[in-house]
Amino acid sequence: MTRSEHFFLMSAGYLVARPVDRTAFMDASLLPPRVRTASSCLARIAPDTWALAWASFDEAERCEAASRFGIPPSRIAELMDWVTQRFDEDFLWPNLFLTLEGAREFCATFVPEDSDAGILGLALSCEDADDLLRLTAPTLGEGETGLHRCLARRLPPREGGLCLGSEVLGVEAGGTLHSSLCNGLERAFAQQWSAQPNAHGLFDDHALAQRCAVYAGRGEVGAEPVPWRAWVLTEYPRTVGGTS
């Protein structure tokens, strides 16, 4: 992505997520052995709602979720305090950081140095961002999702990251993201436009990803009836001055 294209995007927050091994239901002829995704259906993301002290999870569930990031049971209480204190400030529902600095602080505090977890910055075209800002606006009595909060800032993505490509994602109720990969749509995208994912399982051509997102939203396709959009994923170093 060029510098000029960068400024036509709007930041949608930051995730700490691990790469995903290609599963049996993914097309091995199209996708690499490991893919990058912002979908909580596929990726292990931390922290998530399990890290909030008031959320309904038992100790075993919290320990299992933390262990996926190499975080031992002895640090669960500290992690929960850290996340709960920052909720609705820099950590947002259900698993987004408002700022890159917040994501880096979490990684420096809790994620082992040898972990393959990375910080993913999410971004949308300004047009798609404005559309989702409207679609995700909370109604009376509802809390604001992290996605809506991030988009409402109307800030461009931070510089200094490595653009991995664009992913077709749907926005579920509550602000969670759902990948087109869960529906096996990589095959349909290849048939429709000869769309070939890159080494990260993403699309290098954002305009192509946008066409795929429109296709995913057609009723006859049979994907979840949610807003599908093309999202740019950028990996940022976990430490200032580090490498992605």
E strands, 48-111, in order: 91-92, 96-97
Position 219 confidence tier, pLDDT thresholds 50, 70, 90: very high
Position 5 confidence tier, pLDDT thresholds 50, 70, 90: low
Q: Given a cut of 60, is residue 18 above it in pLDDT?
A: yes
Q: Is residue 212 within 8 Å of residue 230, measured between CB atoms?
A: yes
For the whole model, what pTM was predicted? 0.94
Query: How far apart (Å, rounded) are the C-alpha atoms in residues 23 and 39?
Result: 14
Distances (CA, A) of 234 to 61, 144, 159, 186, 226: 30, 24, 10, 20, 23
Position 140 confidence tier, pLDDT thresholds 50, 70, 90: confident
Residue 3: predicted pLDDT? 42
Q: Given a cut of 70, is residue 99 above it in pLDDT?
A: yes
Position 244 confidence tier, pLDDT thresholds 50, 70, 90: low
User: Rg of the chain over CA atoms, in angstroms?
Assistant: 17
Instruction: Render pLDDT for 147-187 as a digit per residue (tens, 0 to 9).
Output: 999 999 999 999 999 999 999 999 998 999 999 999 899 99
Instruction: Render pLDDT for 126-139 as a digit per residue (tens, 0 to 9).
Output: 999 999 999 999 98
Residue boundaries of the structural domains of the chain: 3-236
